[in-house]
Structure 1
Amino acid sequence: MPKRQTILITGASSGLGEGMAREFAAQRRHLALCARRTDRLLALKAELEGQHPGVRVSVRALDVNDHAQVFEVFRAFKDEFGQLDRVIVNAGLGKGQPIGKGRFDANLQTAQTNFIAALAQCEAAMEIFRAQNSGHLVGISSMSAMRGLPRNLSTYAATKAGFAALLEGIRADVLRLPIKLTTIFPGYIETELSGKAAKTPLMVDTASGCRALVAAIEREPATACVPAWPWVLVGWFMRHAPLAWVARTS
């Protein structure tokens, strides 16, 4: 399996994106990092280049809901590095409200960021990979994608399920090409996004979660639940349990 030397990560200024950047830098990969908060990106760049001399880190501002900017930034990174070996579509949003409770605005924002903006990122990445005839596209979905979920998770789960289906469709389209697709289903990994959520016995810290994410990505499977234990088993129960059980436990 070829080593993916140059890796683009969206949503890299915090959470899983920032954590994965640290893990890949420790493996001496070159990084193309983008997010809205450039101050945090610049601080991360200084940290990684200071800790890992020889590792090249480039940062650019990106609001993934500015679809034209997505294409501009991805192409600029490709031109700068000469080639992109892996793109990790990680940027996402976790807000949401029960359907019909008057917060269409919050649900719309989540849908636009987690699916439409993810589509734009996949389009931009695949344009580059098709031209190169190589590459590895990774999408960060969620265990929530396994089933329709109630209350504040309804829209979020739907967007992550739609994103997973999109990635599978792209994979079906390039099965005979030297382009790999991986869909990651993270379980409970502590991040700024999950900071307000109640801690559960299943939640792992950010560093441990990101190590597991990077290890899974490096294997380049079609899909992976991360961490594998207990989320492979949890995923099976989510898909097969009665909906009433899923609603009570979500």
Structure 2
Amino acid sequence: MNAIKQLQKIGLTKHEAVAYLFVLQQGSVTATSCAKGINAPRTTIYRLLSGLVKNKFLIELKTAPVRFQAELPSVAIPRSISFTTKELNRFSKSAINVSETLLHKDSHTRIDILTGKDEFFKTYCSMAPFAKKEICIISIGEPIPDEIKLVNRDALNKGVSIKFIVHKFDKENEMLLKSYVRMGYKVRHFPDWGYHLVLFDDQKGILSVNNPRRTEERTSMVIYSVDMIHALCMFFETVWGKGKVI
């Protein structure tokens, strides 16, 4: 259905788009009726509907049982984009405050702020060649530019381990992720969304948050604080332990 593809272009997953269109057609639904209507597992339907509420596509009605009502597309889409933009602005301000605080505490700490997807990729390509042991990545699980593939290939050829946690793993990207495994990446899936993390040898890293509707819109912190990177490495290993091997 063309409507599903259009909703995916503004950041909804396929399942979210299907659920939103179903609720829109029905007027309002319970979680149970929605699960039956779109043939979704009951164990995941609440998370799916809650995500659509958070992103301003649905309204949760205070009824018993709880029902969900769809916002009209002309209202939902602009409101959702506005909400995401505010979240990105809030993150940017927070990132700047954290950076300034750390710089004040420790003259050896440096954090650079980047904006945009291209700057993120360019910085990755400049830092990856200096990795000696390990590159740890958390990302969406979508195709990457050729220049990223080349620096990763060179790193693998030098004996550097690449551990890759992907947020998304479905039929759309299954072949892509399996090709990464064949290249030598260690890949695991842990469902999440909205941020990227790259760590180089427990020394440097990039933490980034993106607009889920337009992934090219992102704000990143390039982190040179060993203590902060150590904390992020501990976080990575926790998620890695929970991830499903691909």
TM value normalised by structure 2: 0.33
TM value normalised by structure 1: 0.33
Whichever of the two has the greater Rg, that structure is: 2
Q: Which has the higher strand share?
A: 2
